[in-house]
Amino acid sequence: MTTKTVTVPNISCGHCVATIEREVGEVNGVSDVKAEQATKQVTISWDPDATDWVVIEDTMKEINYPPSA
């Protein structure tokens, strides 16, 4: 299992948190997603044999919550 925490500057409300957790959580291989409005951080755990970070990052960009560089 791989875990990564990223900053997502445009998290501004509970709807943002729910959207990120739902959409990223649907990526095959992702086992856990925790988004926090207060810190604007998202922690994601996934199985590297099932998916990789690029797929997760692309999903975040598609839903308009890209992680900052």
Domain spanning 2-62: CATH 3.40.50.720: no
Residue of 34, 36, 16 lying closest to 25 (CA atoms): 34
- Residue that has been written with the tokens 């988004």 in this structure: 35
Angle, vertex CA 6, rays to CA 19 and CA 1, nearest 5 = 90
Instruction: State residue 69's pLDDT score.
Output: 67
pLDDT tens for the chain, 69 residues long, are 999 999 999 999 999 999 999 999 999 999 999 999 999 999 999 999 999 999 999 999 999 999 996
Q: Where are the domains of the chain?
A: 2-62
Instruction: State residue 54's pLDDT score.
Output: 96
Residue 40 gets the label, from left (phi > 0), alpha (psi -120 to 50) or beta, of left
Tell me which DSSP letter residue 66 carries: P
Instruction: State residue 3's pLDDT score.
Output: 97
